[in-house]
Amino acid sequence: MRDRHSDTVHRRAAAHALGRPLTPDELVHHVNEDKADQTPANLDVKSRSVHTTEHNRARPLSKLRAALRMVREKKRLY
C-alpha cells in the first residue's frame, strides 16, 4: 500500500513549481523513479492517459536497470 503522505508531498511540490493546483486528472511522475526526490526537475505532471500510455510503452529492461541502480545506491524502490 502506498504512503498517502508521500503522494501528497509530491503533488504539493509539483503544484508549487507550476504555480497552480493540479487537476484530479493530473498525475505526477518521478522522472528518475526515486519517489523520495521531490525536486522540481524530477517531477513531471502528466494527464492520467498520457502517463499510462508512456508506462505501457516503456521497455521492461529500462525499468530493471533503474531498479538495479536504486538497489546499488541503497534507495527504496517504492
Scanning the structure block, which residue is given the C-alpha cell 511522475?
Answer: 29
CB within 8 A of 78, min separation 6: which ones? 2, 35
* pLDDT for 1: 42
* pLDDT for 66: 79
CB of 32 within 8 A of CB of 42?
Answer: yes
pLDDT digits 0-9 by tens, 48-67: 888 778 777 766 667 777 77
* pLDDT for 59: 61
- CA–CA gap between residue 14 and residue 18 (Å, rounded): 6
* pLDDT-flagged residues of the chain (< 70): 1-7, 58-61, 75-78
The ranges assigned to domains in the chain are 4-72
